[in-house]
Chain A
Amino acid sequence: MELEKLRHGTELIKRGFAKMQKGGVIMDVTTPEQARIAEEAGAVAVMALQAVPADIRKAGGVARMADPQIIADIIDTVTIPVMAKARIGHFVEAEILQALGVDMVDESEVLTPADHKYHIEKTDFTVPFVCGARNLGEALRRMNEGAAMIRTKGEAGTGDVSEAVKHMKQIQGEIRALKGMTREEMVRIAREIEAPFELVLETAQMQRLPVVNFAAGGVATPADAALMMRLGADGVFVGSGIFKAEIPEKMAIAIVEAVNNYDNPEVLAKISKGIGAGMKGISVDTIPQDQVLQTRGW
C-alpha cells in the first residue's frame, strides 16, 4: 500500500477525539487506584489531578498543573484516555502535558489562572483541548482559539449542580434565539457576545455548538448526571462527586448507568438505590465572591 503523509493534530482529529467521548462520563482521579476504579466503572476517560476540586477549594493558595509523575503513573495504569488540567493561559503547562502523552488538555478555571488577559492559543497544539464556558460567547471564543470540546463551567467542587444547569440553559437558549435570524442580526449578535461571526452562523445553522459539549461543575449524583443529559449535554464530567462520595465504586457505576438511562426514571430509581451518600457539598450561594471559580477566564 502506498502511504501518504500522516497529518496529526488537525481540527478533524481533535474534534473527532471529543466525538468518541459522547454519551460518556469523564471522572476526576488523583491516584492510579482511583483511575482503575473509574475505568472499571465504565468511565470514557479520566482527568488526572493532584487534588479534586473540592479539596483544591478547601486548600486555597495557588492551584497548578498536577505533578507529572502522578499523571504518568495514571497513563500507565489505564487504557482509556487520560486528560489533565493546565492553568488558563499557561501554554508551557499545556506543552508539558502534551509531552507526557495526555490525550486532552483541560484549560481550566479550577486552577489559578496564569494569564488574566489571554487564554492559550490552542490551534498551535497537536493535543486537543477542552475549555469551560458559561455562555455562547465564551464557548465560541474558546473554539476560535482552537478548543475541540466545550464544557459548562458550573461551579466546580461544590456538589451543587445549579450553576451547571444555569450555564447549559444559557448556552442552549442563546442557540435557540439564533434560529430564523437574518445575517445582519447575527452580525450584531456576534459583536454583542464578542464571538466570530462565522462561528455564530455555523452554530445557528447546526442549532447546537459545533463541537461536543459536556456538562461539568457540581454534578454529584446519578440524578444530577441524568438531569444534565436531559438538558442536552453530550456527556458529563464528574469531579469531586465520585471520590468524595461515601462509596466511590458504587457512585461511579451508578453515574455511568444514569447517563445511559437518563430518560428512564424507573431505571434511574433503581440505579440510585443503595449507593451510599453523595458528596456533602456546599451550596453555591454561600461561597464568598472571591472564591467563585467560574468567573476565571473571559
Chain B
Amino acid sequence: MLIGVIAIQGDVSEHVDALIRALEERGQSADIVTIKHKGIVPGCDALILPGGESTTLGRLLIREGIADEIRQLHLSGKPIMGTCAGLILLAKEGDEQVKKTHQHLLGIMDTTVNRNAFGRQRESFETELELPFLNSPYTAVFIRAPGIVGCGKDVTVLAKMDGKVIAAEQGNILALAFHPELTFDTRVHQYFLNKLF
C-alpha cells in the first residue's frame, strides 16, 4: 500500500504524522510518500490533499502537471481526502472569491465551495462538534475555513455548521473544512483509511 500526500505547500508533515499514528493504532502498515512533482500520484493507492493556501496549491498542481494525475487517480476509484484547502481543490465550482482569482480546481467532487466561509484568521476557531460519522464529540480546528454551499446528488453530507457543509463524501472522496491533522485525534484519518483497508 502506498499513500501519497501532496507536498507542494501546506501542513504536509502534520498529515504524515497523523497517518503514521493512525496506522500504528490499527496495527497495519503502508508506505507514505510526499509528492511535489508528477509521476508519483499514479502509483498511489490513496491520496491526501493537505491544508495550505488553495490558490497557491491549485496553480502549482497545474504547473507541475499533477492535477491531471489526480483526476486519473480519482477515475480509477482510489480514495482521496482533502482537508481545508484540499476541500476547495476537490470541488467543481467556486464562489466569487474563487472565480476572481482564476483559481484552478480539480473538479472531481460535485460541490460548490465558499473559499473563506468562516471568515479571516481572527474568526478562525476550534470547537467541539457532534460528528455523527465519528459517533462522539470531536475537537475540530477551523483556520480561514471554507465551506461547501452546494452539493450534487452523489454527495453525502456528513456534517454541517451554520448551514454550511463542513464534511462530505462522494464515493471514495472525503472532504473536510477543518484540520484533523492538527490534533492528536486520529478518528478522521481512521475513517479515511477504512476506505483503503
Most buried by A among B120, B121, B128: B121
A78 to B116, CA, bound (A): 12
Q: Is the CB of A79 within 8 A of B143?
A: no
Bin the interface of chain B by size: 35 or more
Q: Is the CB of B53 within 8 A of A17?
A: no
Query: Chain B: which residue is nearest A98 at the CB level?
Result: B122
Q: Which of B4-12, B21-29, B186-194 contacts A (4 or more CB under 8 A)?
A: B4-12
Q: Is the CB of B122 within 8 A of A126?
A: yes
Q: How many A-B residue pairs have CB under 8 A?
A: 130
| Whole-angstrom distance between the Cβ of A77 and the nearest chain B Cβ | 9
> Number of A residues whose C-beta is below 8 Å from B?
41
A3 to B12, CA, bound (A): 29
Interface membership of B64, Cβ < 8 A: yes
Q: Is the interface of A mostly helix, strand, loop or mixed?
A: loop
Q: Is the CB of B116 within 8 A of A79?
A: yes
Query: Chain A: which residue is nearest B98 at the CB level?
Result: A79
Interface membership of A6, Cβ < 8 A: yes
Q: Is the CB of B122 within 8 A of A22?
A: no
A23 cross-chain contacts in B, Cβ below 8 A: 7-10, 12, 52
Interface membership of B14, Cβ < 8 A: yes
**Option from A5, A17, A42 in Cβ contact (under 8 Å) with B56:** A42
The answer to whether residues A20 and B53 also contact, given A42-B60, A103-B144, A257-B63 and a CB cut-off of 8 A, is yes
A2 to B100, CA, bound (A): 35
Q: Is the CB of A39 within 8 A of B55?
A: yes
Q: Is the CB of A19 within 8 A of B182?
A: yes
Interface membership of A104, Cβ < 8 A: yes
A183 to B182, CA, bound (A): 29
A42 cross-chain contacts in B, Cβ below 8 A: 55-56, 59-60
Q: Is the CB of A24 within 8 A of B53?
A: yes
A8 cross-chain contacts in B, Cβ below 8 A: 122-125
Q: Is the CB of B120 within 8 A of A20?
A: no
**Option from B36, B60, B122, B128 in Cβ contact (under 8 Å) with A127:** B122
Q: Is the CB of B144 within 8 A of A7?
A: no
Q: Is the CB of B125 within 8 A of A6?
A: yes
Q: Is the CB of A79 within 8 A of B126?
A: no
Interface membership of B113, Cβ < 8 A: no
Interface string of A84-121 (1 = CB under 8 A from B): 00000000000000100101100000000000000000
Complex A-B: 12 CB contacts under 8 Å: A3-B161, A9-B122, A16-B141, A20-B10, A20-B52, A21-B52, A22-B52, A39-B101, A42-B60, A79-B103, A81-B144, A103-B120
On B, residues with C-beta under 8 Å from A are 7-14, 36-37, 51-53, 55-56, 59-60, 63-64, 84-85, 97-98, 100-101, 103, 115-116, 120-130, 137, 141, 143-144, 159-161, 179, 182-183
Starting from the known contacts A3-B127, A20-B85, 5 additional A-B residue pairs (CB-CB under 8 Å) come to A6-B127, A13-B124, A22-B11, A44-B53, A81-B53
